[in-house]
């Protein structure tokens, strides 16, 4: 998606450790027009799938998941990183290691919101090592729902997550695939 690549180059900040900071438009402050385009692009790429739900993980994946849910006209469910008092009843849970936060946490989804009859599209903001996606696919497996595909806003293709998930047979569509981060530039696949 050229508009996204252009925005990453223009407004993204390169940090040590292979980190591209995109918080001015994607995961702290949001650009609503860009988020709308992202949702429409995921819809275009997965429109032939009979999607019944969108699944993401809080917090940064919610905006892209919401605009995708709007494009498909289906509910959006997000895995919570912390069980709250209002999350009653049974939950599907999985352990996830965060590459950027260097910590492991448990994510949960109420059994009310994922059913075996669902055909789910997973959406997330970043794919690097694939840990968050492995946790979400584990939750889908527990629920019995089927995975229609995975939509990623930005993939770091120089890390192993995308390759491993594709080798496992998952259909992944990434809107921007970063192959290299230099001190001054972001280089994309495609």
Which helix (H) or strand (E) segment holds residue 90: the answer is: none
Confidence of residue 55 (pLDDT cuts 50, 70, 90): very high
pLDDT, mean of residues 166-173:
97
Whether the per-residue pLDDT at 14 is higher than 80: the answer is yes
Looking at residue 101, its pLDDT comes to 75
Whether the per-residue pLDDT at 66 is higher than 70: the answer is yes
Looking at residue 87, its pLDDT comes to 67
* Residue 79: strand, helix, or coil: strand
* Residue 154: strand, helix, or coil: strand
Provide the whole-model pTM.
0.94
What percentage of the chain reaches a pLDDT higher than 70? 96
pLDDT, mean of residues 91-102:
86
Q: What is the DSSP letter of 77?
A: E
What percentage of the chain reaches a pLDDT higher than 90? 86
Which helix (H) or strand (E) segment holds residue 109: the answer is: strand 103-110
pLDDT, mean of residues 89-104:
86
As a whole number of angstroms, the distance between CA 149 and CA 74 comes to 15
Confidence of residue 86 (pLDDT cuts 50, 70, 90): low
Which helix (H) or strand (E) segment holds residue 135: the answer is: helix 131-143
Q: Is the distance from CB of 42 to CB of 123 less than 8 angstroms?
A: yes
List pLDDT tens digits, range 29-44: 999 999 999 999 999 9
- For residue 45 the two structure tokens come to 């790429």
List pLDDT tens digits, range 104-154: 999 999 999 999 999 999 999 999 999 999 999 999 999 999 999 999 999
| Intra-chain end-to-end CA distance of the chain, in Å | 10
């Amino acid at each position: 998606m050229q508009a996204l690549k252009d925005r990453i180059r223009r407004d993204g900040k390169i940090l040590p450790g292979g980190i591209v900071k995109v918080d001015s438009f994607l995961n702290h402050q949001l650009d609503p027009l860009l988020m709308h385009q992202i949702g429409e692009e995921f819809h275009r790429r997965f429109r032939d799938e009979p999607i019944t739900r969108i699944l993401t993980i809080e917090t940064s994946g919610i905006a892209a998941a919401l605009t995708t849910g709007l494009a498909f006209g289906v509910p959006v469910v997000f895995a919570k990183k912390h069980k709250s008092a209002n999350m009653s009843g049974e939950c599907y849970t999985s352990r996830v290691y965060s590459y950027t936060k260097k910590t492991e946490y448990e994510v949960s989804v109420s059994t009310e919101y994922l059913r075996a009859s669902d055909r789910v599209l997973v959406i997330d903001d970043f794919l690097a090592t694939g840990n968050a996606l492995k946790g979400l696919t584990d939750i889908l497996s527990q629920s019995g729902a089927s995975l229609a595909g995975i939509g990623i806003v930005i993939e770091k293709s120089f890390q192993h997550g995308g390759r491993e998930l594709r080798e496992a047979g998952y259909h992944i569509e990434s809107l921007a695939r970063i192959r290299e981060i230099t001190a001054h530039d972001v280089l994309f696949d495609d």
